[in-house]
Chain A
């Protein structure tokens, strides 16, 4: 398996190109739907002889098709350009929005020195310049991100939890994963997809405004005339097409994002030649109370950038920006059974349902963790009958202890 990281990379790249084609097809489908809407709306005619309204549908109107296509293209392009200009501000803007502070290159702090050293090592392995590094002091979860439009303005951010909880090899794997995002231009790809998605959203927004304005306009008049009805129909149609398009676009974008994660995992193995490092980091995320969750209010906008799922909810769903931990670990470490060891389904659920995590770097986990002992009189009956939940809780309690304490006990 470890020798097949090149194959894994190729597979992920192939899947990405397929999905990007699908994304382009989605835009074409939206264009087709808009054309259909236009055909239906322009097809209404009043028969000169009988004076009755009838619908004549002519499905081949090249001129109309061209007009609609150009209009769709213009709207989508406008929306994309707006969004892309917003997003391509450069990595440091994102890092600062997420609460990161830059590490000075001449730092004397041992932990920060280690971070910079590992980043430099991976820069050599990936053949890229070493980017500036940001630390998110407030985040106890294990996570990291790469941001920036191109390698020249890229930055890498790591959470304090990431540095504290992971061994050097595991941390190296995480950083190598982020370098793969920079090297493969994943941030650029994502920003472009987000741009087009925004353009599709714009179609829906235009529809919404048309609907609203025609409704306000019709309130003033007593009898709705035809143009009012047409406006209503156009608005409704645009809204429907826009939301369906956004739905499928988001779905495809999420799959692209998941493929890029697999690619980055495989590339991390290529750079470090050590699949167990990054697999270990993923296992720790699975077993760790705070997991990889981010607390920054700005995290949702950048969820796709992270090393591991940064947001709660949608863990297994189609909209997740990251593949399930189990699957990522299994690809890196085929001998892994997933049994009770770390993640497993149960632990993921506890993770999602659990509280925000350790108060501060594993200081006092007891209050925050999901306490499985019922506080009422039943406590007596639970003595000597530990359930899975209790074991899980005990394990997390031990994990939360500072390493010095654990070392002293042993």
Chain B
């Protein structure tokens, strides 16, 4: 009789520990997955930040009296670079992610104004260098958004698992207290759409 009770208790303990181990491992795997997804965004954002000085250098020759716009692009780019560094140190931290998102939005707005201006310089648009840069920037921007899509999917998977039943009880104990936050860039860029006037 006693042996039977002890056996049942033992079985319960084994099952309980197995579930705990499973939850712990799954949390780690999901966290690493979104960390990795963020690394992919980081690679593409860095590439974008590296391309922007090239772009400004190319554009300078054609539109030297648009100094302000060019300076604004460079400044926004530098802010975004430091925002990315802060976010890369801790991809799950909402404040860092928000900072990066804000900087990215501002950069997007500045770039939009630059491209809108470039419309009125046909020589610039026709130049081989500018066409190549435009293609590379377009592609990099696409890669950023697809990488962000993958990152957001990974974050959603992590948060959903963390908030669902067995994990929700122990997630805090295992050091997964905080929800990871999604990365949204577009808000500010939409608010500050470049104005194009047909004078």
Contacts and interface: CB of A to CB of B under 8 A. Distances in A.
A233 interface: no
Nearest to B128: A110
Interface in B66-120: none
Interface string B136-156: 101100110011011000000
A120 B150 contact: no
B138 to A, nearest CB: 7
B187 interface: no
A122 B147 CA distance: 10
Contacts of A117: 135-136, 138-139, 142
B131 interface: yes
Which DSSP category, helix, strand, loop or mixed, fits chain B's interface?
A: helix
A153 interface: no
Contacts of B146: 121-122, 124-125, 271
Interface in A122-144: 122, 124-125, 127
B135 A127 contact: no
Contacts of B143: 120-121, 124
Given A120-B143, A124-B40, A124-B143, A168 B138 contact: yes
A192 interface: no
B132 interface: yes
Per DSSP, are chain A's interface residues mostly helix, strand or loop, or mixed?
Answer: helix
A114 B139 CA distance: 8
A71 to B, nearest CB: 47
Contact of B150 (A110, A113, A118, A124): A124
Contacts, number: 35
B138 A125 contact: no
Given A110-B131, A110-B132, A113-B132, A120 B139 contact: yes
Given A120-B143, A121-B142, A273 B149 contact: yes
Contacts of A120: 139, 143
B9 to A, nearest CB: 43
Interface in A250-276: 271, 273
A307 to B, nearest CB: 20
A125 B142 CA distance: 10
Contacts of A124: 40, 44, 143, 146-147, 150
A11 to B, nearest CB: 21
Nearest to A120: B143
A122 B150 CA distance: 11
A172 B142 CA distance: 10
Contacts of B136: 113, 117
A163 to B, nearest CB: 13
Contacts of B44: 124
Interface residues of A, number: 15
B42 to A, nearest CB: 13
B130 to A, nearest CB: 12
B131 A118 contact: no
A127 B150 contact: yes
A168 B142 CA distance: 11
Contacts of A273: 149
Contacts of A271: 146
A1 B44 CA distance: 31
A120 B146 CA distance: 10
Contacts of B147: 124
Contacts of A127: 150
Interface in A203-262: none
Contacts of A113: 132, 135-136
Nearest to A118: B139
Contacts of B150: 124-125, 127
Interface string B45-75: 0000000000000000000000000000000
Nearest to A271: B146
Interface in A68-119: 110, 113-114, 117-118
A120 B147 CA distance: 11
Contacts of A121: 139, 142-143, 146
Contacts of B135: 110, 113-114, 117
Contacts of A114: 135, 139
A170 to B, nearest CB: 14
B74 to A, nearest CB: 25
A105 to B, nearest CB: 14
Nearest to B146: A125
A118 B135 CA distance: 10
B141 to A, nearest CB: 10
Contacts of A168: 138
B79 to A, nearest CB: 25
A17 B88 CA distance: 43
- Shortest 9 CB-CB distances between A and B: which pairs? A117-B139, A125-B146, A124-B146, A121-B142, A121-B143, A124-B147, A124-B143, A121-B146, A114-B135
Interface of B: 40, 44, 131-132, 135-136, 138-139, 142-143, 146-147, 149-150
19 contacts: A110-B132, A110-B135, A113-B136, A114-B139, A117-B135, A117-B138, A117-B139, A117-B142, A121-B139, A121-B142, A121-B146, A124-B44, A124-B146, A124-B150, A125-B146, A125-B149, A127-B150, A168-B138, A273-B149
